[in-house]
Structure 1
Amino acid sequence: MSSCLCVSLTTPTLPNRTQISEFPTNPKTLILERCKTIRDLNQIHAHVIKTSLFSNPSVAENLLESSAILLPISMDYALAMFCDIENPDTPLYNILIRGFTVKQSPEQAVLWFKQMREDSVAPDKYSFSCVLKACSRLGALREGEQVHSVVVKLGFESNGFVQNTLIHMYGSCGKVGVARRVFDEMSVREARAWNSMFAGYSKNGDWGEIAKLFRKMLGAGEGFDGVTLISVLIACGRLRDLELGKWIHEYVMEKDLSKNLNLITALIDMFAKCGEVDVARKLFDDMPERDVVAWSAMISGYNQSSRCREALDLFHEMQMSNMEPNEITMVSVLSSCAVLGAFETGKWLHSFINRKKMKLTVALGTALMDFYAKCGSVENSLKVFEKMPVKNVMSWTVLIQGLASNGDGRKALELFSLMLKKKIEPNDVTFIAVLSACSHTGLVDEGRKFFVSMRRDFRIEPRIEHYGCMVDILGRAGFIEEAYQFVKNMPVEPNAIIWRTLLASCRIHKNVEIGEESLKQLVKLEPTHSGDYILLSNTYSSAGRWGDAVRVRNLMKEKGIKKPPGCTLIEVDGAIHEFFAEDTAHPQSTEIYDAIEDMMKRIKSAGYVPNTTEARLDAEEDDKVLSVSHHSEKLAIAFGLIRTSPGTTIRISKNLRVCTDCHTATKMISKVFEREIVVRDRYRFHHFKDGSCSCNDYW
């Protein structure tokens, strides 16, 4: 045997107090039960060397197994012991290969398999199983294929044990088609083989194939286990296949498998992803005990269903239960904070991550960046980006989008150039962020160039979202006719978002004719979308055609179409407060309206003139000024003024586009009250300071 991979071993000494009078005929019980520590192993090893029992294959095998697999020590001792064995046979090699695989050194396991072949020791099914597992962990496809060729050469290709690990290896290395061919060639398939195939499809995101294969499994009457069901439930969640998910739920209840917490957690995740969040919560509440995975699945379910307040509430419950969150929990909670604009809560989460010394992985770092960007704190987003040890294309994309949304489109484009210099390949989502940067900053020529560059330089076929960005770039900049022709010449059928984007530009630039055509197309696609009628009504209003504006509003009433109310959120002292236009439901409503009256007086004295075109159309002329002063964002800002210390930044989030009057008023409020105010509306961020806005009135 080659000694190139071996290390030397000093013969261990036997402490005087230890006595092993006689070795049993079968030493396995003595060695495997007595060897609890490295000291025990040393004692027995010393004994077998002194008594010449080390030459007994059974003794050597059990000692090696204890050292290589059972005891939590480095492999050096096992390796040195192995190298002292004369002419080691197949089981000894298998133990060594398995030990390296188990102890997270799969590359060494592969090397020792090669050594085994060089030493002309014949591998058996266990050898192949161990080395293929090592290849799986390494993602070493080339080495796995070489092992496969040895499997065929030595006649093990029909061995079910080996076939199963081949399926797992190919699936782990992304060759799920090859894995399926091995699977289909099996004469007999146990649940383990099916599960390996499901795992391969899962790793490669082939959720539809999992559902199809499971139905085939059911049709063939094959037996399955909890591992099978967990794989299929994950696929059901991704596919939103509620029918199959419900069937599994009924099966679990019928077979009384509810004690399998991993299975119940998979059911929670499936129901949540399929929109049945309350069913998921019932399963969660009925669990006798919950681990961090169960908590994370439920919190994630609320987050993905846009029930972000409930996600934060459940996270607080999790903390009260003394359950430590993991990375997945934190990503979901940060995402909920981003949606709600819960800046203070998110900052606390960031400090929690630092206190717990949680690793700033790509997923967690990107979630933190996204949270800060969506709360209007792009400088903090940049700091997180710089601290991340590893960044992927999504990390860069989130930062580019954050800069674009926060009014720094030129810096976003500079970052995109830096990304390309660092050889980070952009994807289709990156180009949505880049085109958004052009749109928010009025960079029309740059937008045209990037749109062409997508297909020409990066072989990315534009999706409907990219076409929508181009319509926004052209329309927002006043090129309404060009935007209209662009829509008409699109190679894909324009959807409602495309026409709505064009209609919004028509409102800004008072283009009634193309606005009317846009609404005509929108009514065909989404006849009951209230925002479209309101956009055209406002287009008429901006052009001074009040009668037409009222006619469109009356048409909405006739069709029973209701406008969703404007809603603004603000976080104060860790609690989220919600305001609607002319709302009196808040406990401090009286104090807020007194603050509104004072606020409006002071900004009027500074030159603010109310824009009554933004008032309710049904408001009487005398009430229009009062109507605009009671918009939801003004109520939230007034609340922020009375509940936060002077000089504190006020951050609010609105579900609709900020209106012209509120935009003008907020500029004046920032100057008069010497406050920075960050407003996130449906489309972008506005940073108000000293009487001006980051958008430069281009939004």
Structure 2
Amino acid sequence: MAVTLPLLPAKTPTAKTSISLFPENPKTLILEQCKTIRDLNEIHAHLIKTRLLLKPKVAENLLESAAILLPTSMDYAVSIFRQIDEPDSPAYNIMIRGFTLKQSPHEAILLFKEMHENSVQPDEFTFPCILKVCSRLQALSEGEQIHALIMKCGFGSHGFVKNTLIHMYANCGEVEVARRVFDEMSERNVRTWNSMFAGYTKSGNWEEVVKLFHEMLELDIRFDEVTLVSVLTACGRLADLELGEWINRYVEEKGLKGNPTLITSLVDMYAKCGQVDTARRLFDQMDRRDVVAWSAMISGYSQASRCREALDLFHEMQKANIDPNEITMVSILSSCAVLGALETGKWVHFFIKKKRMKLTVTLGTALMDFYAKCGSVESSIEVFGKMPVKNVLSWTVLIQGLASNGQGKKALEYFYLMLEKNVEPNDVTFIGVLSACSHAGLVDEGRDLFVSMSRDFGIEPRIEHYGCMVDILGRAGLIEEAFQFIKNMPIQPNAVIWRTLLASCKVHKNVEIGEESLKQLIILEPTHSGDYILLSNIYASVGRWEDALKVRGEMKEKGIKKTPGCSLIELDGVIHEFFAEDNVHSQSEEIYNAIEDMMKQIKSAGYVPNTAEARLDAEEDDKESSVSHHSEKLAIAFGLIKSPPGTTIRITKNLRVCTDCHNATKLVSKVFNREIVVRDRTRFHHFKEGSCSCNDYW
């Protein structure tokens, strides 16, 4: 079929493309001196005129320039290709490579099919090209057919072809088939081994990466820096610090520290193995740090729960004018979520929009989780609505966010909508759904869903699901039923199960089962301070002060220290930290004056201090002062004097909110006309106009 060529207006030939002295072999002129389509067009016209285009090698040079070397000339390449009477395999190879490079893999597949239909014999370069296309498209069926053709054409032993086969199978999720191809090879070079490492890395089979590397060492096979990057990634995922440090020593001995990719992998490995300070030293020694290096270090801080340092390093990254990538954003959002740093996280969201970053499932879900953990559940729902693609994790995060923010019924609505959309829930989804029932007091719904897990979805309950059921029953005051439920569990209850029951005993003042719970906990985790505190508080709540002091005395004898209450508040992008009864803040005097005024005003509105929540070693006259100086009250007072009237105050606390602080905060929200959002260890409390979203059920 004749195709009209897009000839451009004539121009005066430049020195580079002057055709007056056109060489007999124009390869250099075509491949090296054609910088634009105009240059190519001029040479093309001359080749037609001189009939040099009839020579296959000359035509292939022209084709290569159009299809591969010039950025926007693929249509031109197609027009050249279609004018060749009987294109051979090199011509097809060039076009397949061109379509692959220009992000048109489907066209490459169709061209290979045409090549086969026209009985053009593939060569050793054809198969690697088309297998790369199958790998990119994850076209396993086509890849298998091509594998059969490879064997038929006699290229089954060709190393380059085999390497690409390994890569194709691994990228299509058939890593075991890739390994069979690998094992069948009589000769394997370092590229072959690296293809197999890449396959295991792609499938997340980290144990096999390490195992394969040890096999490589035993066989005394030479490895390169690409190999080490794969193995270091596996070391990080497996927390294999010993092998990671061996590689670090090798890197130092061989003088490979100039390779930024390798050093970044070392930073990532140390960070994931919990050696964050070692990772930071390596990071600081790097001459060049790209976005991957910054992201690895920030991610390391985030995963080690050193969230403030993650944010500090992110600010340094901005000063260095390094644009963050998706991994950076996910790590920073995770840190903001832990710290309750809403304003910083909002800025990150604004940055994502400004840079027009694609709202992938991973990034979108991280944003949802951040908003939910900062108590801004409506923003979480908004992000969910804007995500173009959602998976089971996205739905689960939304359900968990609604549950922890006191919107249990809405969480269940989304769960049933998820089922309508044919998204199959997993075991983590059911943890969120059962938590929703727990926080909303939906006992019957919780029982039904617990049974539905295995009956309708084939999900066997794990210890976490049993824990949710204990929580559902315990929060509802069904302490005896929860106790019997634990005794009848088909799996051994762990410390979390008994601790959940103990917490419910504290709320409902059940001394007998509370005592039994602590006995079990002492067997499982004898040094957990919170368990002793809970039983001590149960005794105090029913007036058994001697028993309460006795429990505290046991703690002292065993050297068990109480975890101090700590509350965080973010103002103007700065996170302030408060501990109960501390005075280390630079504005402590002003804060304590504000506390005194705050307590005076809420007393006028009906607040009565619950001195049972005071320190047991406090004198009777000091008990009221002790409860008024709990960490969340200090943070709230600071928020009242440092934020504009009417703005929401957001607090993050490391322990469960005590009854006295809960009652006081309800009245603060009413008296000072403020919405106050407190995230404690288990859930969110949204205080507004004298009431709480938990309906006093926490």
Query: TM over 0.5: same fold?
Result: yes
Match of 1:286 in 2: 285
Aligned-residue offset at 1:189: 0.9
Deviation, 1:660, is 0.3
Structure 1 contact 12–46 (Cα < 8 Å) conserved: no
Give the structure 2 partner of residue 370 of structure 1: 369
1:325 aligns with 2:324: yes
SS, match of residue 125 in structure 2: helix
Cα distance, 1:578 vs. partner?
0.3
1:370-410 deviation per Cα after TM superposition (whole angstroms, max 9, x unaligned): 11111111111111111222222211111111111111100
* Per-residue deviation, 1:10: 4.7
Range that drifts further, 389-398 or 119-128 = 389-398
Alpha-carbon distance in 2 for matches of 1:384, 1:597: 41
Q: How far did residue 320 of structure 1 move?
A: 1.1
Which stretch of structure 1 is more off in the superposition, 20-29 or 123-132? 20-29
Shift in Å, 1:339: 0.5
CA positional deviation for 1:25: 4.0
Task: Verify the 8 A CA contact 2:6 2:76 in the aligned structure 1.
Answer: no
Maintained 8 Å contact 2:567/2:579: yes
Equivalence map 1:165-204=2 (5 Å): 165-204=164-203
- Name the CA distance, whole Å, in 2 between partners of 1:188 and 1:574: 59
Q: How far did residue 14 of structure 1 move?
A: 5.4
d(CA) in 1 for partners of 2:210, 2:538:
49
The residue type paired with residue 17 of structure 1 is P
Distance of 1:413 and 1:152 partners within structure 2: 55
Query: What CA deviation, in whole Å up to 9, does each residue of 1:253-278 have, x standing for no partner?
Result: 11111111111111111111110000
Q: What residue number does 1:38 align with?
A: 37
Distance in 2, matches of 1:313 and 1:495, equals 38
Question: CA–CA distance in 2 between the matches of 1:192 and 1:567?
Answer: 53
Contact 1:308/1:340 (CA < 8 Å) preserved in 2?
yes
The answer for the alignment partner of 1:598 in structure 2 is 597
Note if contact 1:480-1:502 (Cα within 8 Å) is conserved in structure 2: yes
- Report the 3-state secondary structure (helix = DSSP H, G, I; strand = E; otherwise coil) of the residue aligned with 1:125: coil
Residue 685 of structure 1 is matched in structure 2 by 684
Is 2:666 aligned against 1:667?
yes
Aligned to 2:146: 147
Deviation for aligned residue 1:477:
1.1
Aligned ranges for residues 149-164 of structure 1 at < 5 Å?
149-164=148-163
TM-score, normalised on structure 1?
Answer: 0.98
**Which residue number in structure 1 is paired with residue 518 of structure 2?**
519
Rounded to whole Å, the distance in 2 between the matches of 1:632 and 1:103 is 59
Residue by residue, what CA displacement relative to the aligned partner does 1:89-139 show, whole Å, maximum 9, x if unpaired? Answer: 111111111111111111111111111111111111211100000000000
SS in 1 for 2:651: strand
Task: Call closer, same or farther: CA 1:555–1:156 in 2, change over 3 Å.
Answer: same
2:315 corresponds in structure 1 to: 316
State the Cα distance separating 1:13 from its structure 2 match: 6.6
1:235 CA displacement: 1.0
The CA deviation at 1:195 is 1.2
Distance 2:439 2:379 in 1: 21
Deviation of 1:242 after TM superposition, in Å, equals 0.8
Is the 1:97–1:109 Cα contact (8 Å) retained in structure 2? yes
In 1, the alpha carbon distance for the partners of 2:224 and 2:101 equals 24
* Paired AA for residue 633 in structure 1: E
Secondary structure of the corresponding residue to residue 275 of structure 1? coil
Q: How does 1:493-532 map to 2 (within 5 A)?
A: 493-532=492-531
- 1:276-321 Cα deviation digits (max 9, x unpaired): 0000100110011111111111111100000000001111111111
Report if aligned partners of 1:26, 1:58 keep a CA contact under 8 Å in 2.
Answer: no
CA contact (8 A) 1:7 1:79 kept: no
- Which letter does structure 2 place at the counterpart of 1:572? L
Kept after mapping to 1: 8 A contact 2:7/2:41: no
Looking at structure 2, the residues matched to 565 and 8 of structure 1 have their Cα atoms a distance apart, in angstroms, of 81
Residues 39-58 of structure 1 mapped to structure 2, 5 A cutoff: 39-58=38-57
Q: For residues 9 and 457 of structure 1, what CA distance do their matches in structure 2 show?
A: 63
The amino acid across from 2:237 in the alignment is R
What is residue 9 of structure 1 aligned with on the other side? Answer: 5
Query: Would you say the 8 A contact 1:670–1:676 is kept in 2?
Result: yes
Gap runs ≥5 in structure 2? none
- Which sits farther off after the overlay, 45-54 or 391-400? 391-400
Q: Go from structure 1 to structure 2 and tell me whether the alpha carbon gap of 1:269 and 1:7 turns closer, same or farther (over 3 Å shift).
A: farther
CA RMSD of aligned residues (A): 1.3
How big is each residue's C-alpha offset from its partner over 1:401-427, in whole Å with a ceiling of 9 and x where there is no partner? 111111110001001111111111212
What does the per-residue CA deviation read over 1:136-186, in whole Å, with 9 as the maximum and x for residues that have no partner? 000000000000110111121111111111100000000000000001111
Match of 2:458 in 1: 459
CA–CA distance in structure 2, aligned partners of residues 503 and 115 of structure 1: 72
User: What is the deviation of 1:545?
Assistant: 2.2
- Take 1:46 and 1:560, find their aligned partners in 2: how far apart are those partners? 91
- Stretches of structure 1 that go unaligned for 5 or more consecutive residues are none
Give the equivalent residue in structure 2 for 1:262. 261
Equivalent runs, 1:65-84 vs 2, <5 Å:
65-84=64-83
Deviations 1:641-678 (A, max 9, x none): 11011101100000000000000000011011111000
The 5 Å alignment of 1:630-649 reads 630-649=629-648
The CA deviation at 1:492 is: 2.2
Pairing of 1:201-350 with structure 2 (within 5 A)? 201-350=200-349
Give the stretch that moved more between structures: 652-661 or 417-426.
417-426
User: Partners in 2 of 1:230 and 1:462 — Cα distance?
Assistant: 39
Tell me how far apart the structure 1 counterparts of residues 542 and 44 of structure 2 sit (CA, whole Å).
95
Length, aligned pairs only: 695
The offset of 1:493, in angstroms, is 2.0
